[in-house]
Amino acid sequence: MANLKEVKERINSVVSTQQITKAMKMVAAAKLRRAQDKIIQMRPYSQKLTAILNNVSAGIEGGSDLVYAEKREVNSVLIVPVTSDKGLCGAFNTNIIKAASAAISTEYAGKDITVLPLGKKAYDIFKKREVKLVDDYYQVFTDLSFDKVREVAEYAMDEFEKGTYDKVILVYNEFKNVATQVVRNEQFLPMEQEETEAPSSATNVDYIMEPSREYIMQELVPTSLKIQFYKAVLESNASEHGARMTAMDKATENAGELLKDLRLMYNRTRQAAITNEILEIVAGAEALGGE
């Protein structure tokens, strides 16, 4: 049985850890509220912009010749795994690494693969592997903003247009709620345009193009793609804080359970020590009495 000093040190250590996990949970909760507000505000805008784009492209003769919708034989693929910069968020990062690795080894096996990691955890993992790496943007979460994410999206779009990559895949966690994040393996480029089976006044609008078709193609399509990319990053950011909040809450509960066991062990050890001292005193008294 452990002595009192060892048990006391373990109790103090667990109490300190529990205080840290409580503080991290509170910080994650505060960050989650802000991140959740951003993604909730972004979703309707992104969905409406995508709907407008689908309607406009469907109403344009030859709309399928959009450069970002060009489908070609897939020889080279850019995979963008979106993780966090820090750990202590459960399986949040592990799930993304597994999904990206599975895509590389199965779905795109034999293709020319390039990885563009967003988040330090993805960068740290893939820089150790034999895969081509674009390491210019992995610190995007240091000061997350639309301008920083737009640079990443523009890089992927420009390289796709040049023919460097035939397909661009986003791998990220979609935020559902604090306890649930869903891994998404989403095709960013080429664009996947929705096909409508029958015209409907609710979903198809006869747009008047102003100032021109070229302007629509040059402005609306790239803007929509950048918004989609930014939305995926915001989803991941909110998911990270939700996962960390859940993980720290569970860690705090586990620390509480461990404290109960340690305090019970401490009391038993203390009681055993007192009993031994009493037995020694009694034995000593009997020895003196026998003399």
- Domains of the chain as residue ranges with CATH: 23-192+207-244 (3.40.1380.10)
The stretch 53-73 carries a mean pLDDT of 69
Share of the chain above pLDDT 70, in %: 87
Which segment of 44-58, 81-95, 179-193, 218-232 scores lowest on mean pLDDT? 44-58
Each as own residue / partner, the long-range contacts of residues 22-28 (CB below 8 Å, 24 or more positions apart, any chain) are: 22/248, 22/252, 24/88, 24/244, 24/248, 25/245, 25/248, 25/249, 25/252, 28/241, 28/242, 28/244, 28/245, 28/248
Indicate whether 255 pLDDT > 90.
yes
The overall average pLDDT reported for the chain is 87
Confidence of residue 209 (pLDDT cuts 50, 70, 90): low
| pLDDT at residue 51, rounded to an integer | 78
Written as six digits, the tokens of 256 are 């509480």
Confidence of residue 286 (pLDDT cuts 50, 70, 90): confident
272 tagged catalytic: no
Indicate whether 11 pLDDT > 70.
yes
Confidence of residue 49 (pLDDT cuts 50, 70, 90): confident
Helix locations, the chain, DSSP H: 4-58, 92-102, 120-126, 146-162, 213-290
167-177/180-189 β-pairing:
antiparallel
Which segment of 50-54, 87-91, 203-207 scores lowest on mean pLDDT? 203-207
| pLDDT at residue 211, rounded to an integer | 73
Indicate whether 69 pLDDT > 90.
no
Indicate whether 63 pLDDT > 80.
no
The stretch 68-78 carries a mean pLDDT of 91
| pLDDT at residue 260, rounded to an integer | 94
Indicate whether 258 pLDDT > 70.
yes
Return the SS3 of 88: coil
| pLDDT at residue 193, rounded to an integer | 62
| pLDDT at residue 289, rounded to an integer | 73
Indicate whether 188 pLDDT > 80.
yes
Written as six digits, the tokens of 261 are 């066991």
The stretch 240-253 carries a mean pLDDT of 95
| pLDDT at residue 149, rounded to an integer | 96
| pLDDT at residue 179, rounded to an integer | 87
The stretch 112-123 carries a mean pLDDT of 96
Indicate whether 1 pLDDT > 70.
no
> Choosing from 89, 122, 149, 232, which is the catalytic residue?
89
Confidence of residue 197 (pLDDT cuts 50, 70, 90): very low
